[in-house]
Structures are given as structure tokens and as C-alpha cells.
Structure 1
Amino acid sequence: MNRLSAFWLAVPVLNTAQQLLLKQSALAISQTGETGWLAQLFVSPWFAAAILAEIVCFFIWMRVLSELDLAKAFSLSAISYVFILASAWLFFGEPVTIEEIGGSMLIMLGVWCLSSPSHSA
């Protein structure tokens, strides 16, 4: 697991980047005030970068899945929720509630438990 941990961490980082880029593209489109938002979306550099992040993430995810059980890999990817919450607060000034902080701490605890070596009896 140790040799793969840096590699699988790229998945939540890229997922977070993708969500930030999609949010930025949505904000840019809403500021244009035009009704042709779909056409604006397809020429948005923010949207293009989000698609690129998703494509790169897909290939890394396939590599992770080739080396980890699906249940473990998918559970570890839950760290994306924590990264996205923190990034939304940091970059967009979105409010964070105490419940969200508590939930994020539980997610981190779960990820820590999953990434710890299992001890078989």
C-alpha cells in the first residue's frame, strides 16, 4: 500500500481540482448573462481544464483499481469530500458548518483506518 499511497492521493487531488474548475466555469458563465450558456461552457478554458483533470484522473484511477480492491480504493477516495469542502471555503469563501467539520473528521478517521495495515489473527 505504501508505494501506491502517493499515486492514489492524486485521485482526490484531481477530483478537487476538477470541482474547483467546474465551479469557476459556472461562475464565469453566470456573469455573462447570456442565454447561450451551453455554448459559453464549451469555449470556457475553465471547463476545458476540468475535462482534462477528469481524463487524467480516469487513467490514474484505473491504475489504482488494478492494485487495490474496489471497496478499499473507493473508500479511500472519500478524502475528496474533505478536500473539496476545504477548497470551497478557501477559494470561494463558502461557509463551513460545525457539522461539515465533524463529518470531515470522521471521513479522515475512516481513511486513516483503511490505510492502516490490517492485523490478521
Structure 2
Amino acid sequence: MRPIWLAVPLLNTVQQILLKRSAEESGNSGGNWLVQILSSHWFLAAIVAEIACFAIWMRVLSELDISKAFPLTAISYVFIMAIAWYAFGEPLPLLQLAGSGLILIGIWCIATASQRND
């Protein structure tokens, strides 16, 4: 695995944090919320993160089979859960920790599976 490939789940995580901040900033201001979100610097930063992620993702897809590349995106679930706990004080129950462990084990299984030539 190339180190740059890890930028995909990291940028996905950053994007979700930025979108969360954008949503919190806009609140529930009736019909005006969409204008507030679209004019938010958090939202604009999320778009930049998405564009950067897309560019790297295209590189990953050009170098890997999609069946091996796509599980890389699942690491985002684990990163987002950890950031939600750390930055936003969200609870992290044992079942979520176990699920995160299973996600990581599944990613490892897919990444290390040898190809069969029939």
C-alpha cells in the first residue's frame, strides 16, 4: 500500500468534520439554512477536501483493482468514529469499538488476500 492512498480515508474524514462544522454553524434557521451552508467557509473547505480526495482516488483506481481499492474507503468509518469521540465528545460504546475492529480486520483480509489464477 502506498502512503498516499491513506489520504483517501483521511480526506474523507476531514470532509465530514468540515461538513459537521458547517451544519452546526447554520443551525436550523428555517428556509435560510441552505444559503448559510453554501456561504460557510467550513462548507467551502469541505468541497476543497472532496476535490483533493477525488484526485487521489482516481490515482488509486488507476493502480489497483476496484475490489481491493474500495475497502480502503471503509477506514473512514473508524477515523470518523474516533474523531467524533475526541473532538465532539460523542460516546464510543463497546459495540462500536468492536465494529471498528471488525472493519479493520475485514480491510486487512481483503488487502492481503492473494489473487487466484484459475
C-alpha distance in structure 2 between counterparts of 1:115 and 1:72, whole Å: 6
Aligned length: 117
C-alpha distance in structure 2 between counterparts of 1:34 and 1:119, whole Å: 54
What amino acid does structure 2 have at the position aligned with 1:25? S
Q: TM-score, length-normalised on structure 2?
A: 0.90
Cα RMSD (Å) of the superposition? Answer: 1.9
Q: Does 1:81 align with 2:77?
A: yes
Q: Does 1:20 align with 2:17?
A: yes
Match of residue 103, structure 1, among 91, 99, 118: 99
Residue 86 of structure 2 corresponds to: 90
Give the CA deviation at 1:76: 2.0
Deviations 1:68-106 (CA, angstroms, capped at 9, x unpaired):
011110012211100011011111111111111000001
C-alpha distance in structure 2 between counterparts of 1:34 and 1:11, whole Å: 34
Give the CA deviation at 1:7: 1.5
Q: Does 1:46 align with 2:42?
A: yes
Give the CA deviation at 1:11: 0.2
Give structure 1 regions of 4+ aligned residues with deviation exceeding 3 angstroms.
Answer: none
Structure 1, gaps ≥5 residues long: none
C-alpha distance in structure 2 between counterparts of 1:120 and 1:73, whole Å: 17
Look up the SS of the partner of 1:37 in the other structure. helix
Q: TM-score, length-normalised on structure 1?
A: 0.88
Deviations 1:18-37 (CA, angstroms, capped at 9, x unpaired):
00000010001117x46401
C-alpha distance in structure 2 between counterparts of 1:30 and 1:75, whole Å: 33
C-alpha distance in structure 1 between counterparts of 2:115 and 2:7, whole Å: 27
C-alpha distance in structure 1 between counterparts of 2:113 and 2:67, whole Å: 15
